[in-house]
Amino acid sequence: MIDKLDKWHKTRSGLAVFCIAELAIAYGFASLSIDRGNFFWYLLTLIFLVGALQNLFKLIGSFVHGK
């Protein structure tokens, strides 16, 4: 099951879905961090934002390099 998810995550559609999902989660944590002012929520926002950016750059790279 995890292997199938990992293989799908490396496809263009998988990268796009994971990027959008991580951006949505980061948005939710950013909203919580602004509302509550807790450092933990800021940290989670940063973690998910970095993950979304990694997926976005991999997705753009797959279009540029044609993989």
Query: What's the pLDDT score for residue 67?
Result: 63
Q: Per the domain annotation, does 8 fall within a domain?
A: no
Residue 1 counted as domain residue:
no
| pLDDT value for 16 | 94
Q: Is residue 31 part of a domain?
A: yes
> Is 54 inside any structural domain?
yes
Is there a domain that residue 4 lies in? Answer: no
Residue 38, classed as helix, strand or coil, is: coil
Return d(Cα 32, Cα 11) in angstroms, integer.
Answer: 31
| pTM (2 d.p.) | 0.84
The answer to the question of residue 25 being in a domain is yes
Domain range for 52 is: 13-65
Q: What's the rounded mean pLDDT across residues 9-34?
A: 94
